[in-house]
Amino acid sequence: MAISASTVRNRLNTAAEQASAINAAQDLSSIEIDLRDEIFQVHRPVLVGMDGASTYCYLLKLAEYRDADTWGCHLLDAVDQGLAPTRTIADAGSGLRAGHQAAFGEAIPCHGDVFHLQHQCQTVSNSLIRQAIGATTRRQDVEQKMVIAQQKGQGNRVSKKLTLARQYESSATSLARDVKTLIQWLNHDVLELAGPALTERQELYDFVVAELQRREGMGRKQVRVLRKALQNQRDDILGFAQVLDDKLADIAQNLKTPLNRVREMCLLFRKQPTSNAYWQAWNQLHQKLSGQFHPVYEAVQAAMKQTPRASSMVENLNSRLRNYFFLRKQLGPDYLSLLQFFLNSRRFLRSECEERVGKSPTELMTGERHPHWLELLGFNRCQQA
């Protein structure tokens, strides 16, 4: 049976309207950890909000701006649907954070996104390493010119260039090595989920910032930019550490176990389960905790699993959206409402998290089963005879 393009367009528009109504009617009160980000499509910002536990996307709006007013209005709409998370994770976007402040004030903290900061750190480190490699190549070229010049008895003409090239190489190599080391310390000792208490993390964090500041005078603007980014975001970035500390203190109190033992259990998860160091620490803790070992182990593991540090799931969503951009040609901006509904209602066929397999984000968030997404839109599914 032939179907005209206008009929298909009308059905898509009807489905988009139905999807938008379902999205607006969804209760968001069960969202505890709110992940937010700004992604871009066709040079315009798309505001995104997602539940950290179920991956339910409660906000997917194409906007003209990404300022405080735009974010605040959309967040207040979500508040009307019951959104009241215990905490939020987002990057350092000024409009996003100002919108959060306008909608929630100080009642709900907005922690920093570790992923974006680590990416910025790695970008700077890689750039400095490339500059150091380039400095080595230039020094080698000048040395070759010196050899040729010396054969002609004209070494004095190249000696100054060679001295400067060697000095620049030494400076660039030292800077690249130091910054790489500092970033490794930051990632492993400060930003790692299984790590020391908040106060110790803050001291280490400040040490890294101070060491970067000492190296700003070596003529690298990017080091100064990175240092300022780290310095301005410290409390937001380390917000997850306070959450984890509170959870570990609750575990110690509930299981009547010394807090330092619970902290040791947390640090155990920094080691690779296939390493000898892991099993040596495992045996030592087992002797100290005896019958309390397995309850503490399971409680700490669960606490860490439920303490995200990044909004990277939103970044993942951005990569998935690109496969559906063709809808934009027929539906215009309304395609995002239909896409939001589809992604929330389609069941996971596979997942690294076993509890998600065979369930949709909506089902994971609400705990209730719903019909197939086509049936929710009023369509009849084709059935085999």
Asked if 99 and 118 count as a contact pair (C-beta separation under 8 A), the reply is: no
Indicate the average pLDDT of the chain: 89
pLDDT digits (tens, 9 = 90+) for 125-141: 999 999 999 999 999 99
Q: Long-range contacts: 98-101, Cβ < 8 Å, 24+?
A: 98/67, 98/68, 98/71, 98/72, 99/67, 99/68, 99/69, 99/70, 99/71, 99/72, 99/74, 99/75, 100/36, 100/71, 100/72, 100/75, 101/68
pLDDT of residue 331: 58
| pTM for this predicted structure | 0.84
What integer is the mean pLDDT of 324-331? Answer: 60
pLDDT digits (tens, 9 = 90+) for 287-307: 999 889 999 999 999 999 989
pLDDT digits (tens, 9 = 90+) for 11-46: 777 888 888 899 999 999 999 999 998 887 767 888
User: Residue 44 pairs with which residues in a beta bridge?
Assistant: 41
Using the predicted structure, report yes or no on whether residue 8 has a pLDDT greater than 80: no
Nearest to 86 by CA among 243, 315, 197: 243
CA gap 355, 266 in Å, rounded:
24
Using the predicted structure, report yes or no on whether residue 187 has a pLDDT greater than 90: yes
| Domain range list for the chain | 5-110+313-376, 114-237, 240-305
Helix (H, G, I), strand (E, B), or coil: what is residue 88?
strand
Using the predicted structure, report yes or no on whether residue 328 has a pLDDT greater than 70: no
Class for domain 5-110+313-376, per CATH?
alpha beta
Least confident of 105-119, 123-137, 313-327, 340-354: 313-327
User: Residue 89 pairs with which residues in a beta bridge?
Assistant: 35, 111
Using the predicted structure, report yes or no on whether residue 365 has a pLDDT greater than 80: yes
pLDDT digits (tens, 9 = 90+) for 169-186: 999 999 999 999 999 999
